Amino acid sequence: MIYAIVPAAGESRRMGVQKLLLPFGSANVISHVVGQLLHSGVDKTLVVVGHEADKVVKTLSGQAVTIVENPDYASGMLSSVRCGLRALGPQGQAGPDAVLVALGDQPAITANLVDCLIQAFTGNRKGIVVPVFGGKRGHPLLFSAHYRHEILTHYGEVGLRGLLHAHPDDVFEVLASTPAVLSDMDYPEDYQRELATLEEQDASPRT
């Protein structure tokens, strides 16, 4: 079982508006991200909300997701990841084999990429799977559930990259065909870049 955690609690200060609700494709940014996860091999998707939670929850109404509230969202993304991990239930009880952290503001990520990460996890003995483009590691990040307690109690200063640095021999890199794995949306120009990427994808011939 693979569960996805989507941090969607940030304040979008650099964007100036709630970036997750900006139009994207036929819906908005967060709905598009969730839609890709629901079309992938992920078994369950948890969306962690905080800032303007009611608006984010409303836009996801009708989609098969579990909503988790993060009262400490102002402290950063790791707090949302930890909220999602706690929502999995007590340690040791039946739960997922692995957890995928997919950024709520990374709309260019596709179901196909998620499936590639899942296949890499199930097809080798490594406990951490990360996409790489141009020699740089990006998101989504997939890790074995046995790292759950470690993430809940460590890496408060550095975030999830601390997990990669702590266990270099347990990391499997998946070569990504797109720089989308390196890009999230913080500023208005980032949003325009993602819209342009979407238009290019829509204009590409289907095979």
Of the candidates 111, 205, 130, 121, the one whose C-alpha atom is nearest the C-alpha of residue 175 is 130
pLDDT at 206: 47
Distance in angstroms (rounded) separating the CA atoms of residues 128 and 106: 20
Distance in angstroms (rounded) separating the CA atoms of residues 142 and 121: 8
pLDDT at 93: 66
List, in order of start, the domains of the chain with CATH numbers.
2-203 (3.90.550.10)
Q: Are 69 and 134 in contact (CB under 8 A)?
A: no
Q: In terms of pLDDT, which residue wins out, 205 or 117?
A: 117
pLDDT at 92: 59
Report the largest interatomic distance among the alpha carbons of the chain, rounded to a whole angstrom: 48
* pLDDT digit string, tens, across residues 137-168: 999 999 999 999 999 999 998 999 999 999 99
The pLDDT-based confidence of 197 (bands split at 50, 70, 90) is: confident
Arithmetic mean of pLDDT, 179-201: 90
* pLDDT digit string, tens, across residues 86-134: 999 776 566 899 999 999 999 999 999 999 999 999 999 999 999 999 9
* pLDDT digit string, tens, across residues 24-63: 999 999 999 999 999 999 999 999 999 999 999 999 999 9
3-state secondary structure of 86: helix
pLDDT at 79: 97
pLDDT at 199: 83
Distance in angstroms (rounded) separating the CA atoms of residues 154 and 161: 11
pTM of the model: 0.94
